[in-house]
Chains A and B, each alone.
Chain A
Amino acid sequence: MLEIPCPWCGSRAYTEFTYMGDATVDRPADGPEASDRDWFEFVYIRQNPKGPHEELWHHTNGCRAVFKVSRDTATHEITGSAKLHSDEGTAS
């Protein structure tokens, strides 16, 4: 059972979460500066590494936060997790 270390709730079974994929994909800023190519790469292109992977998990059946997890896609070993924004507090 994959256990996901939620920064707020602690280590929970992965079945409480929804996987949201690659965390390194940057959404282009709204406005005319972003080209069709920029949007295409954001929507479709993935590095898909065999090894260390930065990915997003959504704690849908828990605190509902979205955060980043460092996990190896070849071994499933999780080496850490982090909040997306430094000014996010902890659950009270």
Chain B
Amino acid sequence: MARFQVSRRVQGKPSVTRYSIVSLARNALSHHQNWSQAWRSPDPKPAYDVVIVGGGGHGLATAYYLARNHGIANVAVLEKGWLGGGNTGRNTTIVRSNYMLEPNAHLYEHALKLWEGLSQDLNYNVMFSQRGVINVAHSDGQLEAFMRRGNAMRLNGIDAVLLEREQVRQMVPLLDCSPSARFPVYGGLLQPRGGTARHDAVAWGYARGADSYGVDIIQNCEVTGVRREGGRVTGVETTRGAIAAGKVGVAVAGHTTQLCQMVGLEVPIESHVLQAFVSEPIKPILDTVITSGATHGYISQSDKGELVMGGDLDFYNSYAQRGSIYMVEHVAAGLLSLFPAFSRLRLMRTWGGVMDMSLDGSPIICKTPVGGFYVNGGWCYGGFKATPGSGWVFAHTIANDAPHPLNQHFTLERFSDGTTIDEKGAGPYAKAH
């Protein structure tokens, strides 16, 4: 039976057992029955300095960095369901920073640099695997577009390598690079430092880290209202009672609209369903992350051996966390045209998430006209890779009541003043991003 055990005090704050070969050996001797809980489950206090709404990767990372970087630990993270049960538990685990537009490039690259030290910093194995991400090009025009993006990346100090067809074939032997391929391979854009990470572990690692600083993580606690006085927030109403706070930070992915509407804030967001699915587990067969510019699908292999796959949205507003089997078939058909060898694998599990689709495809991380109310949303389907960076800059924004240089452009105002950050160039259509 697990029990909470204070075994190390760091700077006067209770801490859970530090994971190490020593603790592993010691606990093996007692049959692994004495590991301390990774985080507490306290009742909410009547008041905190900061309330973070949303117990996913972004919210938990924000709480962690508020404590670690800013010394603000009188913080509660409120999660309406179970920790990491939203989009953090539903993504396809890809981590990369291969963006073209400068604000995106710098923010995601900051996140990638944090990923590179994250397991050590959190003392929790997030299984970050820098196995490379290859965007496969299927035409001359696409290859030129990838050249342009690769050069933009390199000018921003981010690693990018242009691959010829033969180089792609050598890295990905099962990819159909033959002349008769349905979508012929012209080459690809590789980010060597990109890869995958264990999505659940990121939530758990940040939860454990935040908890070790004294942050209260409160699950099964849904925010139903936000209290205001004289244009400033004074707290939240929840299914577990009222909680006072001078600062409220919202990191709720697909429910950003609902939280913002609680303070009368209108936002340029549509919530859409994105599905993903995994095959049965098989022996190692795919060493990198592959995305296809023709089929809009992406595929990688988890450490458990499952092929993790995803592609397009279902293309209609949804909060249901499920979609039509048609899109699963459509994405699978595209990926099988690239990897014919996978056709006889069985589909093991499908699911969906609620994507916070902003109308320019880029996140919204900012103060708002409501004093003490901060928003971190609009991540569309690209939030997981940014988790450490998002938490870092959101913590800064909340602590200083001012944006960090890396999120200064991701404002709500950009939609009305003409400075949208449209990576795809798709215009004001949520489903097109």
Task: List residues of A whose CB falls within 8 A of some B CB.
Answer: 1-2, 13-15, 19, 21-22, 36-37, 40-41, 43-48, 50, 53, 55, 71, 73-76
Q: Are B317 and A53 neighbours in the complex by a CB distance under 8 Å? A: yes
In the bound assembly, the distance between CA atoms of A55 and B315 in angstroms comes to 12
Chain B interface residue number, banded:
20 to 34
Q: Which of B271, B320, B416 contacts A44 (CB 8 A)?
A: B416
Interface residues of B in 316-339 (CB under 8 A from A): 316-320, 324-326
Give the interface of B toward A (CB within 8 A).
255, 257-258, 266-271, 315-320, 324-326, 359, 415-416, 428-431
Residues of A within 8 A of B269 (CB): 46, 48
Interface of B is mostly: mixed
Distance, CA A21 to CA B427, complexed state (A): 14
Q: Chain A residues near B316 (CB, 8 Å)?
A: 2, 14, 19, 55, 71
B317 and A14 contact, CB distance less than 8 A: no
Closest to B316 in A: A19
Q: Do B318 and A73 touch across chains, with their CB atoms under 8 A apart?
A: yes
CB pair A21–B431 under 8 Å, yes or no, is: yes
Chain A residue nearest to B412 (CB atoms) is: A44
Please measure, in the bound complex, the distance between the C-alpha atom of A50 and the C-alpha atom of B255, giving whole angstroms.
9
For A19, what are the chain B residues with a Cβ–Cβ distance below 8 Å?
315-316, 431
Beta-carbon contact of B271 and A45 below 8 Å? no
CB-defined contacts of B255 to chain A, threshold 8 Å: 50
CB contact under 8 A between A75 and B320, given known A19-B431, A44-B268, A46-B268: yes
Docked complex Cα distance between A47 and B256 (Å): 11
Residues of chain A lying within 8 A (CB to CB) of residue B415: 40, 44
**CB-defined contacts of B430 to chain A, threshold 8 Å:** 21, 46
How far is it, in angstroms, between the C-alpha of A50 and the C-alpha of B271 when the chains are bound?
9
Which residues on the B side are within 8 Å of A14 (C-beta)?
Answer: 316, 324, 326
Q: A40-B416, A45-B266 are in contact. Are A73 and B320 (CB under 8 A)?
A: yes
